[in-house]
Chain A
Amino acid sequence: MTMKTEINWQQIAPPLPELVPTPNFLGELSQETFALTRRLFIQLQRRPSTLVAGIIQPVMWLVLFGALFQNAPKGLFGETTNYGQFLAAGVIVFTAFAGALNAGLPVMFDREFGFLNRLLVAPLASRFSIVLASAIFIISQSLLQAGVIVVAAATLGAGLPNVAGLGAIALIVLLLALGVTAISLGLAFALPGHIELIAVIFVTNLPLLFASTALAPLSFMPQWLQVIATLNPLSYAIEPIRYLYLNSDWGFSDVVMRAFWGDVTFGSALLVLLGFAILALVSVQPLLRKTLA
């Protein structure tokens, strides 16, 4: 038996101590999660086109869609006369939703190109760091986009919520992005390839937008669509943000949506979003575990 002669190594670095299982779980987890997140940010920095498009697109929504309905009869979109003000909430939420829905794509490409194998043969503290890194990245990106939209909407005359209001918007975007990111990552591990994932994204994206209160208020819709819209998680993100835009004086017990079964308050809308995020995270666990555990 030959001893491992550490000639070249030894001069430069002592060999690793014999590894005991999980000497420092949290330290390892944060090290690997940080490194994986850093990779995603480097990619973004060197290939900023998706982010640039992800910022231009919602601003276009605001400008063009806003202009389209500029001359709509007063009172049609609730108490406000400004469609831009009405639309801002919808655009913020839809942008976060669409961005999070794409979260699975880079993971899917990593699977297809074999890069994921590089991560899977490594002694990760937990393979959920792969998921965690994606979630951190997508949520940061969504918050950044939301910030730009808030500024753009303010410039277009939609006004600006107060600091607490902005904090509430950030929380809403975070909860929605978390839930949708979880679903998208689950799909990235469950579906056979990126073609299928893109197909799922394609058929989910716009229908969920139209079946929400993003573009028009509930009262504007036929009964059946109202039912769908009040079951759509996007509405529970849109309506509180819209309320913030229309009411500088707001509270958690204020009614933000009149659903067919009763009134939804600001606080309960947040709880619904929290529930959605938790449900999404829990329900994709089996999918993730199949590949990652």
Chain B
Amino acid sequence: MAPAILIENLQKRYGSVVAVKDVSFQVEPGKIFGLLGPNGAGKTTTLRALCTLTIPDAGKIEVSGVSVLDHPKLARQKLGYVAQEVALDKVLTGKELLQLQAALYHIPRHLAKQRINTVLDLLSLQEYADQKTGTYSGGLRKRLDLAAGLLHQPDVLVLDEPTVGLDIESRVVVWDFLRQLRAYGTTVVVTSHYLEEIDALADFVAIIDSGLVIATGTPSQLKDQVGGDRITLRIREFSPNLEAETAKSLLQELPFVQEIIVNSAQGNSLNLVTIPQHDALIRIQELLNQAGLPIFSIAQSRPSLDDVYLAATGKTLMDAELAALAHRDLKAEKKQNMKSGV
């Protein structure tokens, strides 16, 4: 059985800017696949190439065994694409937009009516169906866009940053919905720069940075590879730096402690990386008690995907995000977005 998606050595440059250096991954049918990385990492370009919106400079892309470059029309039939920016015609009603979408996918008229009703139900859009999309809130717009992407029952639904700009409530609706789709057997490909989102949602993850895939695996595998536990400790709510440093030198003596950082941005809290140890918290407490230091809070956790990203790139996702924002060329991005493909 062919993988739902196969991408091999994908490359794409826009002028002198390399958007995708070398990206390869496979997606098994019926899974949620997460593409994680900061803005400008090449996620959107990869998805645009997958959805026939841009022609790659090199590489192989297949959807359920169909080459996207050789048989774009067949591939388009198998794919549903939900772009990052929701583009609806604000003059049309929700239902009219879905009718247009149905015709573009050549769904016979009698079927289209039923399908439209189904997706309106699935996304709880019935009561808004006859309102113009110009009156919709951000969450509603996204839901209608999802509904449109599903109308032709694609094998693979591709979503570019589906929850950006959504309130928490709508975000949860989208997450639940994607899980529901997976239960029906639809393959879902989703990009995000929210770690928690990918961690909670994806069965399989590829972390992408500067146009390269730097790690792949299940979220659990990736976190295990980084290894160790994380402990966050606050002596006081806002500890004096001296006190934090004293605690740091004390705790460094513990055999299971690997690394300690004093985080001045969070009231001089201590961030520890430790070898998994069942009584770690108790031993830390004992040690600090003996030294007469109080404890305001202490928490232990497994490494996050951010730690995976940090281990692979030497920077946190947040730092990469800020750096990317600093040299983001919105004009060039818009231009790329308007250029189209296969």
Contact = CB atoms under 8 A, between A and B. Distances in A.
Interface of A: 1-9, 12-13, 15-16, 19, 21, 27-28, 31-32, 34-36, 38-39, 42-43, 46-47, 111-125, 192, 291-292
A122 B154 CA distance: 11
Minimum-distance CB pairs A-B, first 9: A35-B103, A4-B185, A114-B87, A122-B104, A2-B30, A123-B76, A115-B87, A123-B77, A121-B81
A4 B341 CA distance: 30
B300 interface: no
Nearest to B100: A35
15 contacts: A4-B186, A5-B183, A7-B184, A9-B184, A12-B118, A13-B115, A31-B106, A39-B92, A115-B89, A117-B53, A117-B81, A121-B52, A122-B76, A123-B74, A291-B340
B235 interface: no
Interface residues of B, number: 52
B103 A120 contact: no
Given A12-B118, A19-B74, A34-B103, 5 more contacts: A5-B183, A7-B184, A112-B338, A113-B87, A123-B106
Interface in B17-75: 28-30, 51-53, 71, 73-74
B134 to A, nearest CB: 10
Given A8-B118, A117-B53, A31 B103 contact: yes
Contacts of A113: 87
Contacts of A32: 103-104, 106
B54 to A, nearest CB: 10
B153 interface: yes
Contact of A1 (B1, B339, B341): B1
Given A9-B153, A31-B106, A32-B104, A111 B185 contact: no
A31 B111 CA distance: 14
Nearest to B87: A114
A2 B319 CA distance: 39
Given A21-B71, A121-B79, A123-B105, A13 B92 contact: no
B91 A47 contact: yes
